[in-house]
Amino acid sequence: MIDSLSPDTQRFLRQVSGLQERINSAHQQITSGLKLSAPSDSPDQVGSLLLLRAEMERNTQIKANLDRFKTEVDTAEGVMASAVRILDRVRTLGAQGATFTMNASSRQTLGDEVGSLLEYMVGLANTSVEGRYVFAGDNDGVAPYTLDWSAVPPTGAYGGSDSTREALLPNGSRLRIARTAQELFDSSNPGENVFQAVNALREALYANDQAAIQTSLGALETAGDYLNGQHSFYGIAQTSIGAALDDAAKRDVRLKEQVADIEEADITAAILELEQSRFHYEAALKSRAQIPQQTLFDYLK
């Protein structure tokens, strides 16, 4: 097959076609604000863009989870701070009840207040957030404790389960963010059992047993040290989650910048490209129009 177009004409058409593509591309970038709006615009960048978008979605989900965990941990930290204050009050009442000037009636009154404080502490152990019991472990639909003064002990058995609750951090590591009410208030180690120490003082006050009251003060001091340590756990978790949220926010900014580098157009550069391409396009057409279009038959006339 004989090609009817001369090499010069073919080169001209290729040049004009290329300039038209550059004009269209620059115009599209200016109107859409994007330099990569379809895979064909830059096939080698598509994979990187997809990976960045997936990382952005992951980071967004991690941040949303951390926001929920922050609410939970902030609540738990506040509960533990209240529990520490309550135990301090119980120890004060115990010190009052241990004095020689106290009689049975006065100790009965103190015992009533200690009982009220134990009831309040059980309420703290049953704290719920968004419909779930914070200290019930993974079985968070059930209240950890039910107070029954006729039972021994009155706090009963722990109704929750172990806790495996962890927060996934932006760097991929995991942070334990929860402990159970059993760990916090009802440890199997007698020296760490807050409920047991408080109830022992209550019973000693009701029994008007000064020696038992004095003994319970030592147990309360040990339990207080333990409770302070548990409070610190949530303080550390608060700090860690706050730092993780900051990290997630910084990652979000960085990922958006990386996506923008690939996807978003440089409008100033696109305008310049459009102007230059149009200039060269018009110049090419003008130059082509000035070429004599004579044939052999014109010379034979």
Q: Rg (Cα) of the chain, in Å, rounded? A: 38
pLDDT (0 to 100) of residue 29: 59
Q: How confident is the model over 227-237, as pLDDT tens digits?
A: 999 999 999 99
pLDDT (0 to 100) of residue 1: 43
pLDDT (0 to 100) of residue 37: 58
Q: Greater confidence, 134 or 273? A: 134
Instruction: Return the H-helix or E-strand segment holding 167.
Output: strand 166-168
Q: Calculate mean pLDDT across residues 57-82.
A: 96
Residue 291 has pLDDT above 60, yes or no: yes
Q: Calculate mean pLDDT across residues 54-65.
A: 95
Every domain of the chain and the residues it spans: 79-258
Residue 38 has pLDDT above 60, yes or no: no
pLDDT (0 to 100) of residue 142: 95
Parallel, antiparallel, or unpaired for β 132-133 and 128-129? antiparallel
**50: Cα within 13 Å, side-chain hemisphere:** 8
Q: Greater confidence, 57 or 48? A: 57
Angle at which helix 43-97 crosses helix 104-125, to 10 degrees, equals: 170
pLDDT (0 to 100) of residue 2: 45
pLDDT (0 to 100) of residue 191: 87
Residue 207 has pLDDT above 60, yes or no: yes
What are the residues whose beta carbons fall under 8 Å from the beta carbon of 282, sequence distance 6 or more? Answer: none
Q: Calculate mean pLDDT across residues 143-158.
A: 95
Q: How confident is the model over 174-194, as pLDDT tens digits?
A: 999 999 999 999 999 988 999
Q: Greater confidence, 276 or 116? A: 116
pLDDT (0 to 100) of residue 257: 83
Q: Does domain 79-258 have CATH number 1.20.120.530?
A: no
Q: How confident is the model over 4-36, as pLDDT tens digits?
A: 666 766 776 676 666 566 665 655 655 565 555
> DSSP assignment of 68-133, as one string?
HHHHHHHHHHHHHHHHHHHHHHHHHHHHHHTSTT--HHHHHHHHHHHHHHHHHHHHHHT-EETTEE
Report which residue type is found at 129: V
Least confident of 11-20, 53-62, 172-181, 286-295: 286-295
Least confident of 13-22, 149-158, 205-214, 239-248: 13-22
pLDDT (0 to 100) of residue 84: 98
What are the residues whose beta carbons fall under 8 Å from the beta carbon of 207, sequence distance 6 or more? Answer: none
Question: If you average pLDDT over every residue of the chain, what do you get?
Answer: 85
